[in-house]
Amino acid sequence: MVKKIQIDYITKIEGHAKLYVKIDEGIVKDVRMEVFEGARLFESLLIGKKYDEVPIITSRICGVCPQAHSIASIDAIEKAFGHVPNKSIETLRELLLIGQIIKSHTLHLYFLALPDFFNKRSVIELAKEQKEVLNLGIRLKKLSNEITTIIGGREIHSITNIPGGFTKAPTDEELTTLQKNIKSSLEDSLEGIKLFSSFSVPDYSNKTEYLYLKKDENPNVKGTVICSDNICNSVEKYADLMNEFVEEYSSAKHVTIGEKSFFVGALSRINQTLIPDDIKKILDKNSILFPSYNPYYNNLAQCIEIHILLQKAKDLIKKIDVGEVFHHKITPKKGKAVSALEAPRGILFHEYSFDDKGYVTKANIITPTTQNLKNMENDIMKILPSLLDKPEEKIKFELEKLIRAYDPCISCSTHFLDVIWE
Amino acid sequence: MGKQKKRLGIFSLTSCDGCQITFLDMDEDFLDLLDNYEVIDFPLIKDGTNLFEEVDIAFVEGTPVNDEEIKTLQKIRKLSKKLVAFGTCATFGGVTAIKDFSDDKIKKEIKKDNEYLNLHDNIKGIGDIVKVDAYIRGCPPTKFEIKNLLQTFLDGKEIEHRKSPVCIECRKNGNPCFLKEGIACMGSITYSGCDSICINNKFPCYGCRGPVEKANADSLFLVLKNKIGMNDKEVKNMFMLYAGTNKRYSNLIKNG
């Protein structure tokens, strides 16, 4: 008997996608994450644009991770033109990226994923009974917005960070206040870890390649080497590693390494991070061990990452000399460069070629969600047999929970178009 | 019995989702809204979305790029007493529309790859497809305007349109004038309401809110070319960035 399960609109993820599953005689025959968000063809509409408009446009790829895109653009532009930013500008960009990751994580964890664990349909229902828990999320999200606003000028689609530096520097007073607010929110971020480690997740593991970025031998949100337990590949040669292709059922591209799916994102990064004792204690209580290859733990990994990144932000602020933060004039030149950074959902690549006047002649962008799509489909295929004796509604709920754990960003995944320029 | 709550729907077509995120970034204010509004549809945060139920007011973010999304938009229109174009993409097509201004070489490439994407080649604001009752412009829109619109709707009043450009807000904020410094800025023709946030942050206005009613776009176009010294391509790129689909800008981009 052939059974089909279809979720026509996967809610509580960013963007529009559906899931289609086909089962024949108890065997899963087909799993498709069908992205039906319209494509926006960013890589083609960038062609002919001058370099200074590039980060403005790429920021609009995603309202959840706009700073990740604009910073990736700016890094690649400066690299192509041979400009090296000073330490304070570099540090401020890293801080902005950290604020961005925390914003995206808190939004996903507390507004989209949390209702699942309380068997509620939405954060609106959750707010009625779990006000305290939601307030915790709101406080953390506000702090992340404070970071992105002080540095970038506003919460979504930053204004100040442009090729060459920043149009406006934060003041010492602003940074001191931010430092203080970060310190006092560390209790909240630990509370979040306690909360999410108390939720039970299905016993499942699928050890594919878990990729992350490394800089000077350490995992870092801005990196030069793409790593996993078995892979070590320079960012410049990302195209040799990644196999990008089209599945006709989806307006998003898919990516594999060779033929194999892989994982990027918070879980991959936390697997490589030395977990501090205070967090370890909480995890031990619930018998949770990292590294883990259970994608359901991506939520918890995001919680841990919020705490660790807040600690890091505290240290970074100390290194910023606001007197060094300004806008350097940069001179376009013909060239090509690639940049990679850890966006909230995993490694993000931006690559551009410019002509001698600084106009884009070629652009390639690979987002984390496109990298995770195949792994997500494979996980669904593997988990599904254990769910088949359950009622259809329950199966759908469990699959949606898995998809949400990946925190897919569909808007980010649909901007492809292969344009080959001679 | 308490007062009857207004039924609210928040929908998204092709977009970056940033307008919806702005809604959620209202935080406590968002939760307070729920005293007066019942959220019927809001797929970003709520399941059970089915587009079967009528709503009093619908916010539509993004722009339709294919037949399917046009049908969705028409369905939303049918189910909604009032429909709000939410953000720059919904108002003008936003960055999604830039591709339609591409030169023939790029258009040819797009056509090749468009066989199964079925994208339209005339992206526009939703007001050109269905009747729109109110607009919230901006990329992203401001929280204040969202709150204000929902309150105005509760009070049963009409939304007032702004007649002044960003320039007026900018001067009030005491910013030096970019144009006078020889730097391109669209604040003089752009619909206000953003409190000149970009210029306050020392970045010129790129016109994300589109033209104000009496905007003299032609004159600014010439100033940017002749006085600021931008080349033809640079000026056109600037005009097409967010609101290129409105007639005054598209004429300049095509013929200017």
Give tens-digit pLDDT for B30-78. Answer: 999 999 999 999 999 988 766 779 999 999 999 999 999 999 999 999 9
Roughly how many angstroms between the first and final C-alpha of chain B, as a whole number? 61
Q: What is the mean pLDDT of residues A174-181?
A: 98
Q: Provide the β-strand partners of residue A293.
A: none
Q: How far apart are alpha carbons A52 and B99 in whole angstroms?
A: 18
The predicted pLDDT at position A415 comes to: 52
Contact between residue B244 and residue B250 where contact means Cβ atoms under 8 Å apart = yes
Q: What are phi and psi of B106, to 5 degrees?
A: -70, -40
Roughly how many angstroms between the first and final C-alpha of chain A, as a whole number? 51
Q: Which of A8, A9, A19, A41 is the best mutation test for B, with the most CBs of B within 10 A?
A: A41
- Domains parsed from chain A with CATH numbers: 2-413 (1.10.645.10)
pLDDT band at A138 (very low <50, low <70, confident <90, very high): very high
Any idea what the Cα angle at residue A39 is, between residues A33 and A40, rounded to 5°? 145
**What digits encode the pLDDT tens for the residues A28-75?**
999 998 888 888 889 888 999 999 999 999 999 999 999 999 999 999
The verdict on A397 touching B (C-beta cutoff 8 Å) is no
Q: Residue A153 carries which DSSP code?
A: S
* A351 closest CA partner among A360, A49, A242, A343: A360
- Full-model pTM: 0.96
**Residue A11 and residue B202: Cβ atoms within 8 Å?**
no
Strand pairing of A225-227 and A232-234?
antiparallel
Q: CB-based contacts of A109: which residues, under 8 Å, 6+ apart?
A: A137, A192, A196, A299, A302, A303
Q: What is the mean pLDDT of residues A244-267?
A: 90
Residue A419: pLDDT over 60: no
Helix axes A298-318, A392-406, angle to 10 degrees: 20
Nearest-Cα distance to chain B for A409, in Å, is: 10
Percentage, residues of chain A above pLDDT 70: 98
Using a CB cutoff of 8 Å and minimum separation of 24, what contacts does A397-400 make? A397/A116, A398/A202, A399/A5, A399/A7, A399/A19, A399/A21, A400/A7, A400/A10, A400/A11, A400/A12, A400/A19, A400/A116, A400/B47
The verdict on A127 touching B (C-beta cutoff 8 Å) is yes
The CATH architecture to which B6-154 belongs is 3-Layer(aba) Sandwich (3.40)
Q: Which residue has the tokens 């890094």?
A: A75
Locate the chain A residue with the closest alpha carbon to B123.
A40
pLDDT band at A349 (very low <50, low <70, confident <90, very high): very high
CA atoms within 13 A on the CB side of B123: 32
Q: How far apart are alpha carbons B72 and A373 in whole angstroms?
A: 26
Locate the chain B residue with the closest alpha carbon to A104.
B21
Residues of A in contact with B67 (CB under 8 A): none
Mean pLDDT, all residues of chain A: 93
> Given B17, B28, B46, which is nearest A124 (Cβ)?
B46
Nearest-Cα distance to chain B for A218, in Å, is: 32
Q: CB-based contacts of A372: which residues, under 8 Å, 6+ apart?
A: A263, A264, A265, A345, A346, A406, A408
Q: What is the mean pLDDT of residues B161-168?
A: 95
The predicted pLDDT at position A245 comes to: 86
The predicted pLDDT at position A108 comes to: 96
* A296 closest CA partner among A396, A398, A389, A195: A398
**Residue A122 and residue B46: Cβ atoms within 8 Å?**
yes
Residues of A in contact with B48 (CB under 8 A): 11, 121
Look up residue A253 and give its two tokens. Answer: 């591209």
Residues of A in contact with B95 (CB under 8 A): 40, 45, 57, 60
Locate the chain A residue with the closest alpha carbon to B115.
A248
Mean pLDDT, all residues of chain B: 94
Q: Which residue has the tokens 């509604």?
A: A393
The predicted pLDDT at position B2 comes to: 59
Q: How far apart are alpha carbons A97 and A241 in whole angstroms?
A: 25
Q: CB-based contacts of B1: which residues, under 8 Å, 6+ apart?
A: none
Q: What is the mean pLDDT of residues B224-247?
A: 96
The predicted pLDDT at position A418 comes to: 44
Residues of A in contact with B19 (CB under 8 A): 63
Q: CB-based contacts of A345: which residues, under 8 Å, 6+ apart?
A: A65, A104, A264, A265, A266, A367, A368, A369, A372, A406, A407, A408, A409, A412
The predicted pLDDT at position B186 comes to: 98
Residue range(s) occupied by CATH 3.40.50.700 in chain B? 6-154
Q: CB-based contacts of B188: which residues, under 8 Å, 6+ apart?
A: B165, B166, B167, B179, B215, B220
Report, in this order, helix, strand and coil percent for chain B, each rounded to 5: 40, 15, 45
Residues of B in contact with A156 (CB under 8 A): 18, 21-22, 25, 140
The total number of residues written for chain A in this structure: 422
Residue B199: pLDDT over 90: yes
Q: What is the mean pLDDT of residues A106-130?
A: 93
Strand pairing of A360-366 and B6-12?
unpaired
The predicted pLDDT at position A25 comes to: 86
Q: Which of B13, B52, B126, B203 is the best mutation test for A, with the most CBs of A within 10 A?
A: B203
Residues of A in contact with B14 (CB under 8 A): 37-40, 414
The predicted pLDDT at position A422 comes to: 34
Look up residue A97 and give its two tokens. Answer: 């990226």
**Residue B13 and residue A39: Cβ atoms within 8 Å?**
no
> Is the interface score ipTM higher than 0.95?
yes
| Most confident by average pLDDT, A114-123, A186-195, A377-386, B28-37 | A186-195
Residues of B in contact with A66 (CB under 8 A): 16, 18
The predicted pLDDT at position A420 comes to: 40
pLDDT band at A237 (very low <50, low <70, confident <90, very high): very high
Q: Which of A9, A45, A116, A361 is the best mutation test for B, with the most CBs of B within 10 A?
A: A45
Nearest-Cα distance to chain A for B84, in Å, is: 19
Neighbours of A2 (CB within 10 A): 8
Q: How far apart are alpha carbons A166 and A164 in whole angstroms?
A: 7
Residue A90: pLDDT over 80: yes
Residue A406: pLDDT over 90: yes
Residue A404: pLDDT over 90: yes
Residue A101: pLDDT over 70: yes
> Given A66, A134, A142, which is nearest B18 (Cβ)?
A66
Q: Which of B20, B21, B86 is the best mutation test for A, with the most CBs of A within 10 A?
A: B21
Q: Residue B207 carries which DSSP code?
A: -
The predicted pLDDT at position A26 comes to: 83
Q: What is the mean pLDDT of residues B157-175?
A: 94
Using a CB cutoff of 8 Å and minimum separation of 24, what contacts does B134-137 make? B134/B82, B134/B83, B134/B84, B134/B85, B134/B159, B135/B84, B135/B85, B135/B90, B135/B91, B136/B19, B136/B59, B136/B84, B136/B85, B136/B86, B136/B87, B136/B91, B137/B87, B137/B88, B137/B91, B137/B191, B137/B193, B137/B208, B137/B209, B137/B210
